[in-house]
Every structure is written in C-alpha cells, then in structure tokens.
A and B are shown apart, each in its own frame.
Chain A
Amino acid sequence: MRNLDQTTQEVIDLATRHFKVPSGTLAASDDFFKKLGIDSLQALELLSRLENHFGIELPDYEVQGVSDFRTLAERIQSRL
C-alpha cells in the first residue's frame, strides 16, 4: 500500500499532467487554486481524475476547504 508521500507525489503528478504545467513546478504545500490559477469547478474536475486514478470515491464535502496537495493526499489516503 502507498504511503502518504507516495500518494502526495501521485496527486502532484496527476495535477501536473491534467493542467499541463511543467514537471517539477508543483510542491506538496502549494495552494493549488493559486498555483494553478484554477476555480472551484476545475478543482472538481481534478477530483474526478484523482478518483479514477486511485479507484476511490471522494465525496465533495470531504474535501471542502482543502486547498493544498498534501491535505488533499491525506483525504485520499484515508480512503485507500
């Protein structure tokens, strides 16, 4: 099973590909709204991609208020 660091890295890798940013530009503590310049709808798109990748369901209300990759990875990790 993945540990939190691995999950975080996978989240970052997937966000890097999904939003087509150069690799290595995103970090675990980054605020993805600010760093990627995305709105709440684009964040929901990312969640759907993450669900497919990890094979889990992540309810919208579970990630309410989450804005950095590390915390997002923690919420995913708790459902793996």
Chain B
Amino acid sequence: MLDLSQYQSVGAALKDALTTYAQETCLIEADRDREKERLTYRDFQNRAHPLARALQDVGFAAADRASIVMTNQSKWLISAYAVFFTGGVLVPLDYKLTPAEHWQLLKHSGAKVLITEYPIWRQLSGAPERAAAENVKLILVTEAPPKADLDGAKRWEDFRGAAEPVFAPRTRKDVACIVYSSGTGGRPKGCMMTHENYLEQCVALTSLYPFWPGVRYLSILPTNHAIDFMVGFFGPFTCGACVVHLRTLRPEFVRDAFPKYKITYVSLVPLVLKNLQKGLQARFDELPPGKRKIFDFLVAVNKAFTKNKPRLRLSRKLLGQVHAAFGGELRAIIVGGAFTEPQTLQFFYDLGIPVANGYGLTEAGTAITVNDLHPFRADTVGKPLPGMEVKIVNPAADGVGEVWVRSKTIMAGYLNDPEQTADVFSDGWLKTGDLGRFDSTGHLLLSGRKKNMIVTEEGKNIYPEDIETVFESLAVKEFCVFAANYVWPKRSMVGEQLILALHLENGQSYTDALRNDIIARNNRLLNYKRVHGVVLLDEDFPRTASLKIKRNILAERLAQLDRSSAILPL
C-alpha cells in the first residue's frame, strides 16, 4: 500500500498508484455473463489522461467542480480520476434520483461539468429543471448510440486531449468532493469532504480490512456512496487491488460473479444481505435430514472454533460448499448504509463469513466504528476506527446519549450553508443525532435517533423536509412530515417510517377523496420515500415569527397522542 501520510491529495495518491502498480489489473467490467473489459493501472492511466487534458483544454481548472451521474462502471472511476488530476472537485450524485432532483443538486453544487451515461442523459436532457442549472457548461455522455441526438452534450469517448495533462496539486485542507447527504426536495446538504478526510479514512479502514494486489472487490453499492467510493475506488487503488463492476445487479448475475471473479470483498446494504440470508437459509432447509444434521454439526464446530476470531482457512474447509458458492476467496462482506439486524450478521459469521458491520455517516467520512472481529460482536456496530474520538453526550441512566465524533475524517461543512453547518458542530465535534452507548469493552451500541429522519434498509437517508414539496397545496389547513420514531422515541434502528401530520380546516373531515389525493401524491415519490400513515391534529401548528413550523414543538404535541391509534395507515 502507498504510504498515504506522504500525500497531500486524493489525486496525488492515485497518480502514484497508477505508476506503482502499472502492470496490475485495476478494473474488470462485466455485463451479465459477458466480460466487457479488463484494465491494468497503465491502461487506466492511458484512458484517463486524454480526458484530463481535454478538460484542461476547455478551461476546467483547480477547484472547479465536475459532477458524475453514472451507474457503477469503469468510466465512473476514469472520469473521477481525471477530475482529481486536474485539481477539480468531484460531485458524485446518486443515479437513482429523479431528473428534477439531479438538476437541483447540479445547480446547488455549482458544477461546471456533468459526466453521465446515455440512458440517464435521455431522461435528464428534457427535464424542465435543466434550464435553471446554467452553471453546467459542459456535458459528457458515455455509450451514446452512433446517431443519437445528444441535445448539446458531447461524447465522452471522443472528448480527448492530444497533449499530456498537467497535474494540479492540492492541499490536504482543500475540498476533494461535495457529497450530498440529503436535501433533494428541500435544503440540500452538500458535505464538503477534504482530501485529508479521504486520506485519513483510507489509512484507518485498511488497517482493519487491508487490500493488496490480487484482491478483488465487487462494486455493487453505488460509487457515489461514501462506502463504495472508499472501498470500491480509493482504497483498492492505493493498494494495487482490483475492482469488479457489474452492469446489471440481478441476483443471478451477482451470485455468479463471486466464483467467476474470485471476489475478496463486497459491500452490501442490509436489505441485500438479508435477501442473501433468506436464499441461503432456503437452500439449507431443502437439505435431506441426514445431510442437514451433518451441516448443522459443521456449523456448530465452526462457531466453536471462531468464537474469538475468524479462522478463514478452517471455515473454508468445514463449510466448503458454502464458501465455494462465494468463490472460495471471500474474506469479508462489508455492510453499511443502514443498521443491520444482529441475527443476520450472526448467520453469516456462523458460516465462517465475517461481516464487517459498522457505523458511519457521510458527514464523518466513510465509517466511525467498525467491527474488528476480535471477537465478532453481532450486537454492536464495533469500536471506533483509529483516529476517531467518539463520546456519548448527556447520557441517561442507562448510558444512552447522543453520539458525537471528532476526527480528521469529518467534513469541512455543508456547501453554502453556514447555518446548517453550525447546527451539527459543537467545538469541533460532529453531533451525529444518533443515540447510543458504549459497553465495557469499548463497543458502540446504537439504539435510536434524536434527529428527525429515517434510514431505510436500502441505506437511503430520508429527511421529512425533503419530501414535503409533494404535498404542497394539499386541501388541508396545514401539514408537516415527521419520522415516527422522532415523535414517539423508540429504541430501534429498524422498521422506521414517516408520517404526515395534518391539521384540517374548520368543519373539514378526513374524507376518502382527501385520502386518495394523499395516496396519489405519495405515489409520486420513490417507493422508499413514501409516508406510511396520517396523523390528525385538531389545533394550529406552532410557528416562528417568519411562519416556519416549529417542528420540535409540534412533535411534542403529537407525542401526547397514542402512537398506535393516532397513525391512520395509507
């Protein structure tokens, strides 16, 4: 691995990685069962440098911003490297957002350049919100059919400079990426992540889960996500490892990729991990009684021998068939983005497949705590990573309080929003809004949220303010969206739901027509953003002098109602 303490920027470290590991394979891209390409670090450099030069030729310079809206593929990483090489700031956006949301964030980020792929561009190009994002001057589109109308965009494949690009140095304190943690419908939260944030986080994470040439990481989580950006790009590249991209995420092709590419690590969200568990459990349940008995015995033996630490070789021998299905080289499944239920984590560990569960938020870099597997603890989110200071503030009698974090991996602040930045920082500490406690061995146990938001099993952060626009002009006196667990605090990190609080006009009743209107509006939201039920309140909402709803006071009033009877399901 490169000695990252010697580097000032993500770009500088990546630049050296490309020459240090020139002969190693860095990328494999497959579409279904067809391998599309395989690149060495030298090939990667040969693809990225002409792009970097072409960007410089059109005036893209240090500190300029370029956004990527792409599914996981080699051109994502090539484009990102070209941006870093020129000293640019990367704005990685979730390709699953709607065109309106994409343009809103593109405008907010101030991106000059947008790099995207043709199917996404087809949806983006005609969206009316495009007109407002005047800052986006250059659009590069990958994989466009030969005769496609690109509507003002240029072909990524043809955008190549002839001369060598000039590397633009940056300092550790400069912003490397603007990563949106929320705000697609309301007030955008663009986390300004510095080069130091990434360099320090990479050192901390690879001290527990190392990469080296020959390691193969299967990239499934979107690369704009902090976890995949770190363990599916920056981490493996600075260690000479290889990233495998699949252009389809159908379970059958993902399954086949493990043995085909001898995958070493993969990152998953809890939903996918649970699905994997269900599939495996169903296969175990189909075993004839005799074989099942032997299998259960082998699992019990594995459990006994791996109680204090993983023993991969032993587990692979004991449970050879299970490990063969995962390619026989899998060292750990990294799970993140949302809380994972302990029984799912334990299920995999008992099979000899360690699950690197942890806890993090975009504002704090990739991870704050990670399970170090010595011993494996399914009931916790692990211990703080090296360099992380974590404290519990205002603990209750049971030790549970708000989790605060301080480290070199914490963001510089929210883009163009000193007010929200001031809200989340206190004397250099990041106030996470999550509730938890430490046990006697230094493991962090999370138990709920103090903040008004939910995280889905797919790892999506949903802030109520972001979805309220869809209910604008609803025929009621006033409304407000809340996370149910924020109103009625619950010691739980799973099954979180949103509710819509309604105050009807005088004499108005909650009719089927109103309910149907709410359902129709709700259906305009992506499925994971929808509200679960309605709560009726028969009094004016408390408001500030500027007529903003005082959400915390309104939540206190709602909390007087009985949760189970107050929520009317949609």
Contacts and interface: CB of A to CB of B under 8 A. Distances in A.
Interface of A: 31, 33-34, 39-41, 44-45, 47-48, 57, 59-62, 64-65, 67
A62 B250 contact: no
Contact of B119 (A44, A48, A64): A64
Nearest to A39: B271
Nearest to A65: B98
A58 B95 CA distance: 18
Closest 4 CB pairs of A and B: A33-B527, A61-B119, A44-B250, A31-B523
Q: Output the residue of A31, A34, A40, A45 with the most chain B CB within 10 A.
A: A40
Contacts of B98: 65
Interface string B519-538: 00001001100100000000
Given A33-B527, A34-B523, A48 B95 contact: no
B249 interface: yes
B527 A41 contact: no
Contacts of B275: 41
Nearest to A51: B250
A60 B98 CA distance: 15
Given A41-B251, A44-B249, A61 B117 contact: yes
Nearest to B117: A61
Contacts of A67: 523, 526-527
A59 B119 contact: yes
Contact of B96 (A44, A45, A47, A64): A64
Question: How big is chain B's contact interface, by range?
Answer: 20 to 34
A65 to B, nearest CB: 6
A61 B251 contact: no
Contacts of B280: none
A32 to B, nearest CB: 9
A31 B526 CA distance: 10
A60 B250 contact: yes
Given A33-B527, A34-B523, A48 B250 contact: yes
Nearest to B272: A41
Contacts of B530: 34
A48 B32 CA distance: 11
Interface in B66-88: 71
A62 B122 CA distance: 10
A60 B71 CA distance: 10
B248 interface: yes
A62 B47 CA distance: 26
B434 interface: no
Contacts of B526: 65, 67
A39 B123 CA distance: 23
B252 interface: yes
Interface string B400-426: 000000000000000000000000000
